[in-house]
C-alpha cells in the first residue's frame, strides 16, 4: 500500500486575495477531483487546512503510486470555476510505501510529509518518492534552523560589501551589502541555504532590521575615518517588503543613526512587483519620497509586465548575471541586454550589469552603452575592514587625476 501526502500550492494567496468562503468551496472541488482519481477501495482524507492524504490499498508495485500521483497533478491543472472566478491551483505530493518506508501509520505519514516537502523544494506541482536520505537532510535543516535563531544574538551574522564600478573612470559608485553567516561549527554557510530558512521562519524581518541598523552605523564609522562613502544597497526580501511596518522601521532607524535616506538603496527582486500592483506602487512611492533609491535586482528573469514598469519609481535596473555570463557566445543574451539598456535609458533609469568576470564581458557591455558594473572582475564581496582599501585606492585615483 502507499500513502500520498498532498499539499495545495499557494492556497494561502487564494484565501487572502479572494476570501475564505471561496477557499472552502475550492477545497470541496479539489476533494471531488481527488476522489475521481482513485478507486473505490482507496481512501481520500483531509487532515486539515490545505492538506489531503490518499491511501492506496493493494497496489502491485511502488510505481502504481507514482501513476496515481501524476493523475492527480493532471486533474488539478484544469482551472476551477467557482462563483464566476477562474482559479488555478497546483499541488505538491509526497509518497511513502508500506512496508519499505514504514510499518506503521505514524511513520508512513511522517515520511510522506517529508517527501512532500522535497516536492515543494523541487519547484512545486510535482511529486517525490520518499527515500531514507531525505531524513538526514531534514534533520540537518532543522538543526540549521534552530541555530539561525541564535545567530543574531551570538553575533554570527556578518556583512560583506561588493563595489559597483562606474566606467570609464573606475569610480566606486555604490556597494551592494551582502549577508553572510559564520557558523561556529559549520564555518561560512551559503546565503542560498540560510536566507530561504529565514524567509520561512520569519527571522528575515529582525535580520533585515539588524542589517539596516548595522549598515547605518558602518557608514558613520567610515565617515569618521575620513572616507567618502558611496551609496549602499540593501537587499529587501518579499516578506520584508510585505511588512506593514516597513516604512516606519526604516525611518526610525535612519532617525536614530542620523543617516540621510539618500545614502541607502533598496534592492528588490522583480517578482515582488507582480503581487498586488497597486499596493506595491503606493509603498514604493513612499520609500522613494523618503529619499531612498530603488533598484530592481535580477532584472529580466521575473514575470513583471513592462506596462507596469513605468509606474514604479525605479532608479536602477540590475541585469541578471545569467545574461552577462554568456554575452560573448549567446546572441539572444546580447540582444536582451541591449534591449534592457535601451529601455532603461528611455525611462530615465540607470543600469548595473551583475556578474562581470572577464574583460571580454566588460568590453561588450561598454560597447552596448552600459556604464556600471559589479562582479569578480573588479572585486569579490569583502568584509568592512578590507573594503577600506578600495576607499583608499579610490581617493588616490581621484588625487592623481586632480594633479
Q: Are residues 398 and 278 in the same domain?
A: yes
Same domain? For 205 and 325 the reply is yes
When divided into structural domains, the chain yields a total of 2
Domain check: are 90 and 175 in the same one? no
**Could you say which of 78, 100, 131 is where a domain stops?**
131
With respect to residue 265, please indicate whether it lies within any of the assigned structural domains. Answer: yes
> Which pLDDT value is given to residue 398?
59
Count other C-beta atoms under 10 Å from residue 341's C-beta: 21
Q: Do residue 41 and residue 169 come from a single domain?
A: no
- CA 354, CA 177: separation in Å to the nearest integer? 14
Contact 154, 134 (CB under 8 A): no
Q: What's the confidence (pLDDT) of residue 238? A: 85
pLDDT for the residue 269: 84
Q: Is the pLDDT of residue 402 over 70?
A: no
Structural domain ending residue among the three candidates 109, 131, 153: 131
Average pLDDT over residues 295-304: 74
Alpha helix segments (H runs only) across 225-320? 238-241, 246-257, 277-290, 306-309
Is there a single domain that holds both residue 215 and residue 330? yes
pLDDT tens string 67-116 = 999 999 999 988 898 887 788 888 999 999 999 999 999 999 999 999 99
Question: In which band, very low, low, confident or very high, does the pLDDT at 401 lie, cut at 50, 70 and 90?
Answer: low
The string of pLDDT tens digits covering residues 368-395 is 999 999 999 999 999 998 988 777 776 6
Asked if the structure places residue 138 within a domain, the reply is no
Q: Per-residue pLDDT tens for 173-206? A: 899 999 999 999 989 998 988 998 898 888 999 9
**What is the rounded CA–CA span in Å between residue 333 and residue 328?**
9
The CATH code of the domain that includes 246 is 3.20.20.450
Quick check: is 136 in a domain?
Answer: no
269-278 pLDDT, tens digit per residue, is 877 776 677 8
**Residue range 21-26: average pLDDT?**
88
Domain range spanning residue 11? 2-131
Are 338 and 364 contacting, i.e. CB atoms less than 8 angstroms apart?
no
Are residues 103 and 233 both part of a single domain?
A: no
Q: Is residue 309 part of a domain?
A: yes
Query: Lowest-pLDDT range, 25-34, 299-308, 337-346?
Result: 299-308
What are the tens digits of pLDDT across the range 117-169? 889 888 889 999 999 888 777 777 888 889 999 998 899 999 999 999 998 88
* Residue 16 belongs to domain with CATH number: 3.30.70.270
In a domain, 306, yes or no: yes
Are 289 and 149 in the same domain? yes
User: Which of the residue ranges 8-22, 149-163, 289-303, 388-402 would you say has the lowest mean pLDDT?
Assistant: 388-402
Task: Categorize the per-residue pLDDT at 305 as very low, low, confident or very high, splitting at 50, 70 and 90.
Answer: low
Q: How confident is the model at residue 23 (pLDDT cuts 50, 70, 90)?
A: confident
What pLDDT is stored for residue 403 in this prediction? 56
Choosing from 131, 152, 182, the residue where a domain stops is 131
For the stretch 319-359, pLDDT in tens is 988 899 989 898 999 999 999 999 999 989 999 999 999 99
pLDDT at res. 316? 93
**Do residues 148 and 106 both lie within one domain?**
no
The answer to the question of residue 270 being in a domain is yes
Confidence of residue 299 (pLDDT cuts 50, 70, 90): confident
Residue 55 placed within a domain: yes
Residues 243 and 371 placed together within one structural domain of the fold: yes
Q: What is the 3-state secondary structure (H, E, C) of the chain?
A: CEEEEEEEECHHHHHHHCCHHHHHHHHHHHHHHHHHCCCCCCEEEEEECCEEEEEECCCCCHHHHHHHHHHHHHHHHCCEEECCEEECCEEEEEEEECCCCCCCHHHHHHHHHHHHHHHHHCCCCCEEECCCHHHHHHHHHHHHHHHHHHHCCCCCEEEEEEEEEECCCCEEEEEEEEEEEEECCCEEECHHHHHHHHHHHCCHHHHHHHHHHHHHHHHHHHHHCCCCCCEEEEEECHHHHCCCCHHHHHHHHHHHHCCCHHHEEEEEEHHHHHCCHHHHHHHHHHHHHHCCEEEEEEECCCCCCHHHHCCCCCCEEEECHHHHHCCCCCHHHHHHHHHHHHHHHHCCCEEEECCCCCHHHHHHHHHCCCCEECCCCCCCCEEHHHHHHHHHHHHHHHHHHHC
pLDDT of residue 64: 92
Split at pLDDT 50, 70, 90, the class of 306 is low
Pair (224, 360) in one structural domain: yes
Identify whether residues 124 and 148 lie together within a single domain. Answer: no
Amino acid at each position: 500500500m502507499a500513502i500520498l501526502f498532498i499539499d495545495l500550492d499557494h492556497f494561502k494567496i487564494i484565501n487572502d486575495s479572494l476570501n475564505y468562503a471561496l477557499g472552502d468551496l475550492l477545497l470541496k472541488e479539489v476533494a471531488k477531483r481527488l476522489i475521481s482519481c482513485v478507486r473505490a477501495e482507496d481512501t481520500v482524507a483531509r487532515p486539515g487546512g490545505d492538506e489531503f492524504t490518499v491511501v492506496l490499498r493493494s497496489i502491485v508495485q511502488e510505481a502504481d503510486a507514482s501513476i496515481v500521483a501524476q493523475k492527480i497533478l493532471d486533474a488539478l491543472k484544469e482551472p476551477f470555476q467557482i462563483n464566476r472566478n477562474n482559479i488555478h491551483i497546483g499541488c505538491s505530493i509526497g509518497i511513502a510505501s508500506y512496508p519499505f518506508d514504514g510499518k506503521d501509520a505514524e511513520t508512513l505519514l511522517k515520511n510522506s510529509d517529508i517527501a512532500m516537502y522535497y516536492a515543494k523544494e523541487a519547484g512545486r506541482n510535482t511529486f517525490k518518492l520518499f527515500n531514507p536520505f531525505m531524513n538526514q537532510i531534514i534533520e540537518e535543516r532543522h538543526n540549521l534552523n534552530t541555530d539561525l535563531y541564535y545567530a543574531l544574538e551570538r553575533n554570527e551574522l556578518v556583512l560583506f560589501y561588493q563595489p559597483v564600478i562606474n566606467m570609464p573612470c573606475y569610480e566606486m559608485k555604490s556597494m551592494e551589502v551582502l549577508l553572510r553567516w559564520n557558523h561556529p561549527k559549520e564555518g561560512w554557510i551559503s546565503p542560498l541555504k540560510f536566507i530561504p530558512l529565514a524567509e520561512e521562519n520569519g527571522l528575515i524581518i529582525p535580520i533585515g532590521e539588524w542589517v539596516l541598523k548595522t549598515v547605518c552605523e558602518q557608514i558613520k564609522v567610515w565617515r569618521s575615518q575620513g572616507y567618502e562613502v558611496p551609496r549602499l544597497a540593501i537587499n529587501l526580501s518579499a516578506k520584508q517588503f510585505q511588512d506593514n511596518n516597513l516604512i516606519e522601521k526604516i525611518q526610525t532607524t535612519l532617525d536614530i543613526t542620523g543617516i540621510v535616506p539618500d545614502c541607502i538603496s533598496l534592492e528588490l527582486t522583480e517578482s515582488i512587483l507582480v503581487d498586488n500592483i497597486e499596493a506595491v506602487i503606493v509603498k514604493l512611492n513612499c520609500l522613494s519620497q523618503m529619499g531612498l533609491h530603488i533598484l530592481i535586482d535580477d532584472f529580466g528573469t521575473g514575470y513583471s509586465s513592462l506596462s507596469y514598469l513605468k509606474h514604479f519609481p525605479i532608479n536602477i535596473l540590475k541585469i541578471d548575471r545569467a545574461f552577462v555570463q554568456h554575452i560573448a557566445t549567446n546572441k539572444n543574451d546580447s540582444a536582451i541586454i541591449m534591449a534592457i539598456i535601451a529601455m532603461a535609458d528611455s525611462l530615465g533609469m540607470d543600469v548595473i550589469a551583475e556578474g562581470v568576470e572577464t574583460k571580454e564581458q566588460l568590453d561588450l557591455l561598454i560597447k552596448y552603452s552600459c556604464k556600471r558594473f559589479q562582479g569578480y572582475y573588479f572585486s569579490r564581496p569583502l568584509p568592512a575592514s578590507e573594503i577600506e582599501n578600495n576607499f583608499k585606492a579610490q581617493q588616490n585615483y581621484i588625487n592623481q587625476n586632480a594633479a
